[in-house]
Chain A
């Protein structure tokens, strides 16, 4: 009896494995950053609207902030732009734009067209600093706490659900910073 059922059991096992694999396929595509929970690397880059100014992550320690990786070439960045607008207005912490592998003119034109709610932008045309940050696609959004530790990284565009999640984490980070 068991010998007869064995192939069926194996088949059912395979089926469970396959369904589980399909269910978790979306999550597997996203590579979790090893930098979450670690101090943000020291990155010093020129500004976008103000190329003579340099911005550094070292200066930002002391309060929580958001880093948002974007580029004018990045389609999904347009998609998430309404939520970036809201983050800029509602988060109550600096929203740092990390303009990645872009051209200055294109980036400025893009901001003119869609609106600029970021506190300021760092530009990484070469993509060297982005490697230190572990960037592998745009858009990406990092939450850094007041000690300068990366608390969270979201890969891909921000939608309504992600926005709520980010806001919840930001409120928590602000409370921690105040206490």
Chain B
């Protein structure tokens, strides 16, 4: 909607480029705003201090909501995510460490609950795969470049 309005207003006055720029900016601002709205969907917890709030946020972003599998606890509005956030806050209040909280979640929901799964035998392909792919790509690039040099 905004992009159409933005460009139409300026079309008549000959500032077409500016109109597009303006509408693009508006869309961008809208996206930023919607991000802010989504972030504030998390219920406000009475944090002790900023450090605790920061820990809450980073843990909530790192833990997957298992019902809505492609969202983190911080993003999800699912009832289970709300429960898990409440649990997360309670554990922070209890003075538990970040590692203890991660273990708590993994014990109940498995490695899948962490967006950064631990480096273990069954996750070696996950962690090592990209490095192997990168090496293959580098190797083939070197081979191709050398062959072309020979031709020249």
Contacts and interface: CB of A to CB of B under 8 A. Distances in A.
Interface of A: 29, 31-35, 101, 126-128, 130-137
3 A-B pairs with the lowest CB-CB distances in the bound complex, closest first: A127-B83, A136-B66, A134-B108
Interface residues of B, number: 14
B48 interface: no
A127 B66 CA distance: 15
Given A34-B110, A128-B83, 9 more contacts: A31-B66, A31-B112, A33-B110, A34-B107, A34-B109, A131-B84, A131-B87, A135-B80, A136-B66
Contacts of B110: 31-34, 134
Contact of A136 (B87, B107, B109): B109
Given A29-B69, A137-B67, A34 B83 contact: no
Contacts of A35: 108
A133 B66 CA distance: 14
Contacts of B80: 127, 135-137
Interface in B97-115: 106-110, 112
Given A31-B110, A34-B110, A134-B108, A127 B67 contact: no
A131 B83 contact: yes
Interface string B69-100: 10000000001100110010000000000000
Nearest to A135: B80
A136 B76 CA distance: 13
Contact of A132 (B67, B106, B108, B112): B108
Contacts of A131: 83-84, 87, 108
Contacts of A130: 83
Contacts of B108: 34-35, 131-134
Instruction: Give the interface centre of B66, B80, B107, B112 by most chain A CB atoms within 10 Å.
Output: B80
Contacts of A126: 83
A53 B106 CA distance: 32
Contacts of B112: 31
17 contacts: A29-B69, A31-B110, A31-B112, A34-B106, A34-B108, A34-B109, A34-B110, A127-B79, A127-B83, A128-B87, A131-B84, A131-B108, A132-B108, A134-B110, A136-B66, A136-B80, A136-B109
Contacts of A34: 106-110
Nearest to B83: A127
A127 B84 CA distance: 9
Nearest to B84: A131
A34 B69 CA distance: 17
B71 to A, nearest CB: 13
Contacts of A128: 83, 87
A127 B81 CA distance: 11
Contacts of A33: 109-110
Nearest to A73: B79
